[in-house]
């Protein structure tokens, strides 16, 4: 039974729990909603504070006073009612029976009052049973009646000796004038009053609202100050500074954007430094590699110019050396131009769907004579003749030719170059391997750096320009591909990974 009730209770509460989680999630995600919620909560706290404070201050400021106002009004009304009734009947003073009945009927309503009729000289003509006097001072009564008009004088400060007050109204009989006089001690009432303390309660409510708002928003304000401090640090050049993420609202997003901006700036500056360093290295390397063949050329041309040769044969030798050096120089300049062009991201690719096997077969066939000269053979192993890639054929031929020529040039002679072409998921893989001396991991990582040579004794005159692999890497990356090298079991292998397309 208890479990059923619990399940029913949970079922009823489920929509409310979901609504609570949804609202909480929305508030945490929005700074605007957080501020609205905070304002509403503080306003509610202020209202509750006002109600409680106003109620308490009103209760403790309550006081009572004795009020004779109602009693004096009753005496005056008695007197007025009798005068209106007698004057309304057009009576004579001799109609004592009727007049006495009117007096008695009014007197019986409140026997504490004294009711009597007196003429203008103050002689009492008719009276109620509790009146003993025969003569009254009309002027004193009129004076007392005038004081009644200033009721506030008697409202709180009436003589505690139970002083009587009198109300007098004129009577008009057919044969003479008289006065109806009602005299008595006014009835006292205890009236309770409270002083208005709403202003004090309102001020306290405002204070609660302000301090509550400041307390609740203190964490956010501190976080804004942290963001401001972070921006100041970054503006001063401290790009390693990171603003701590707090929460999931717009401020947290702002912190992420600031951190991203700092990282981007740092990377950009580092990239610019790297470019500047590379430019300086490039100038240094180019200067060195250009100076060596140029010095040789100038030296041999100088010998020819000064006719420091013994025979025609020696002259031709000098000329041939100068020509070969100039060829080397031309190739170096061409490679340098190509490298600069491919690394500037300004080259447009003329992409076409190419069957890679056919492209490689044609290139291999062209390089057979060079292989024979260097006692090297090229053999194909894993070979998928149906792989199609969308590439710029001319530029990729340069990559393959560069890698195969490197393999021919640096392979242990006599030797074998192994070429593989196969699929790997959506990629086509081309690998070119040759037997080589051991290469360290550090050297493998630097193979694609410009002007890097494994054999430090090699120069542009004895080896390549040192730009071939750097150019190959730039071309492959322009095709959104990847190139890398591995060394295993005496073989160095270059891998090229390209995106494969379906053959139509």
Q: Report whether 93 contacts 123 (CB < 8 A).
A: no
pLDDT of residue 273: 84
Q: What is the pLDDT of residues 431-462, one digit of tens each?
A: 999 998 888 888 888 788 766 666 544 444 44
Identify the residue with better confidence: 294 or 412.
412
Q: What is the pLDDT of residues 218-249, one digit of tens each?
A: 888 888 888 888 888 888 888 888 888 887 77
User: Where does the pLDDT of residue 342 fall: very low under 50, low under 70, confident under 90, or very high at 90 and above?
Assistant: low
pLDDT of residue 416: 92
pLDDT of residue 162: 55
Q: State the CATH number of the domain containing residue 276.
A: 1.10.287.130
Identify the residue with better confidence: 467 or 491.
491
Domain stop point among 159, 192, 225:
192
CA distance 35 to 226: 19
Beta-sheet strands, E only, within 331-375 = 352-355
pLDDT of residue 107: 62
Instruction: Return mean pLDDT, the chain.
Output: 80
Share of the chain above pLDDT 70, in %: 83
What interhelical angle do 250-305 and 218-235 show, nearest 10?
A: 10
Kindly state whether residues 366 and 327 are assigned to the same domain.
no
Residue 188 has pLDDT above 80, yes or no: no
Average pLDDT estimate for 397-424: 90
pLDDT of residue 443: 82
Identify the residue with better confidence: 18 or 42.
42
Q: Report whether 419 contacts 459 (CB < 8 A).
A: no
For 435, residues 6+ apart whose C-beta sits below 8 A from its C-beta are: 411, 412, 415, 416, 490, 491
Q: Say which residue the tokens 């392979």 belong to.
A: 411
pLDDT of residue 66: 75
Q: What is the pLDDT of residues 257-267, one digit of tens each?
A: 888 888 888 88
Kindly state whether residues 42 and 53 are assigned to the same domain.
yes
Domain stop point among 331, 346, 361:
346
Kindly state whether residues 496 and 352 are assigned to the same domain.
yes
Identify the residue with better confidence: 67 or 150.
67
Q: Strand 482-488 and strand 165-172: pairing?
A: unpaired
Kindly state whether residues 306 and 167 are assigned to the same domain.
no
Q: State the CATH number of the domain containing residue 495.
A: 3.30.565.10
Q: Cα–chain-centroid distance for residue 7?
A: 40
- 230 within some domain: no
Kindly state whether residues 101 and 241 are assigned to the same domain.
no
Kindly state whether residues 45 and 154 are assigned to the same domain.
no
- 227 within some domain: no
Total tally of structural domains belonging to the chain: 4
- 339 within some domain: yes
- 228 within some domain: no
Kindly state whether residues 352 and 454 are assigned to the same domain.
yes
pLDDT of residue 359: 92
Q: Cα-flanking dihedrals φ and ψ of residue 115, to 5°? A: -120, 125
Q: Report whether 74 contacts 186 (CB < 8 A).
A: yes
Residue 174 has pLDDT above 80, yes or no: no
Average pLDDT estimate for 452-476: 65
Kindly state whether residues 440 and 292 are assigned to the same domain.
no
- 6 within some domain: yes
Listed ranges 58-72, 148-162, 295-309; the one with the highest mean pLDDT: 295-309
pLDDT of residue 35: 84
Residue 217 has pLDDT above 80, yes or no: yes
pLDDT of residue 27: 66
Residue 150 has pLDDT above 80, yes or no: no
How crowded is the C-beta side of 283, counted as CA atoms within 13 Å?
5
pLDDT of residue 291: 72
User: Where does the pLDDT of residue 427 fall: very low under 50, low under 70, confident under 90, or very high at 90 and above?
Assistant: very high
Read off the pTM. 0.47
- 170 within some domain: yes
Domain stop point among 330, 346, 362:
346
Q: What is the 3-state secondary structure (H, E, C) of 419-474?
A: EEEEEECCEEEEEEEEECCCCCHHHHHHCCCCCCCCCCCCCCCCCCCCCHHHHHHH
Least confident of 62-76, 281-295, 424-438, 483-497: 281-295
Least confident of 105-119, 297-311, 422-436: 105-119
Kindly state whether residues 371 and 358 are assigned to the same domain.
yes
Kindly state whether residues 358 and 486 are assigned to the same domain.
yes
Q: Say how many C-beta atoms besides its own lie within 10 A of residue 304's C-beta.
A: 15
Q: State the CATH number of the domain containing residue 152.
A: 3.30.450.20
Kindly state whether residues 446 and 464 are assigned to the same domain.
yes
* SS3 assignment, position 64: strand
- 211 within some domain: yes
Q: Report whether 467 contacts 450 (CB < 8 A).
A: yes
- 222 within some domain: no
User: Where does the pLDDT of residue 346 fall: very low under 50, low under 70, confident under 90, or very high at 90 and above?
Assistant: low
Kindly state whether residues 179 and 168 are assigned to the same domain.
yes
Burial of 42 (0-12, 13-18, 19+ CB in 10 A): buried
Give the chain's length.
Answer: 504
Tell me the residue range of the domain where 74 lies. 67-192
């Amino acid at each position: 039974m208890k479990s059923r009730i619990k399940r029913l209770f949970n079922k009823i509460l489920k929509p409310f729990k979901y609504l609570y989680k949804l609202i909480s999630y929305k508030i945490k995600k929005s700074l605007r909603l957080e501020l609205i919620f905070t304002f509403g909560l503080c306003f509610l706290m202020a209202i509750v504070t006002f109600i409680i404070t106003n109620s308490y201050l009103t209760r403790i400021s309550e006081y009572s006073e004795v009020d004779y106002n109602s009693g004096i009004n009753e005496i005056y009304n008695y007197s007025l009612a009798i005068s209106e009734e007698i004057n309304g009947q057009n009576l004579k003073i001799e109609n004592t029976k009727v007049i006495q009945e009117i007096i008695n009927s009014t007197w019986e309503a409140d026997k504490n009052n004294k009711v009597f009729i007196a003429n203008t000289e103050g002689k009492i003509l008719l009276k109620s049973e509790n009146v003993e006097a025969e003569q009254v001072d009309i002027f004193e009564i009129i004076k007392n009646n005038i004081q009644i008009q200033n009721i506030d004088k008697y409202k709180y400060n009436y003589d505690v000796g139970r002083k009587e007050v009198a109300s007098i109204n004129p009577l008009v009989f057919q044969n003479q004038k008289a006065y109806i006089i009602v005299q008595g001690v006014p009835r006292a009432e205890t009236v309770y009053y409270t002083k208005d303390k709403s202003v004090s309660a309102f001020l306290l409510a405002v204070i609660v609202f302000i301090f509550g708002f400041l307390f609740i928003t203190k964490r956010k304000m501190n976080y804004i100050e942290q963001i401001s401090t972070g921006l100041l640090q970054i503006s001063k050049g401290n790009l390693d500074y990171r603003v701590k993420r707090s929460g999931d609202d717009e401020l947290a997003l702002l912190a992420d954007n600031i951190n991203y901006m700092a990282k981007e700036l740092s990377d950009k500056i580092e990239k610019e430094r790297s470019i500047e360093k590379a430019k300086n290295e490039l100038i240094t390397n180019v200067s060195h590699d250009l100076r060596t063949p140029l010095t040789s050329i100038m030296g041999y041309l100088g010998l020819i110019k000064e006719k420091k040769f013994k025979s025609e044969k020696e002259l031709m030798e000098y000329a041939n050396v100068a020509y070969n050096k100039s060829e080397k120089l031309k190739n170096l300049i061409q490679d340098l131009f190509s490298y600069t062009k491919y690394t500037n991201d300004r080259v447009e690719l003329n992409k076409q769907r190419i069957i890679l096997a056919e492209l490689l077969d044609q290139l291999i066939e062209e390089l057979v004579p060079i292989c024979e000269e260097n006692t090297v053979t090229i053999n194909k192993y894993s070979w998928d003749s149906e792989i199609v890639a969308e590439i710029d054929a001319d530029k990729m031929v340069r990559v393959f030719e560069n890698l195969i020529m490197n393999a021919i040039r640096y392979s242990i002679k006599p030797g074998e170059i192994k070429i593989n072409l196969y699929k790997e998921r959506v990629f086509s893989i081309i690998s070119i391997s040759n037997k080589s001396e051991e290469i360290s991991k550090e050297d493998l990582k630097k193979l694609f750096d410009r002007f890097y040579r494994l054999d430090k004794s090699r120069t542009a005159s004895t080896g390549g320009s040192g730009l071939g692999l750097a150019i190959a890497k730039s071309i492959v990356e322009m095709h959104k591909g990847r190139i890398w090298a591995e060394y295993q079991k005496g073989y160095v292998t270059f891998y090229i990974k390209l995106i494969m397309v379906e053959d139509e």
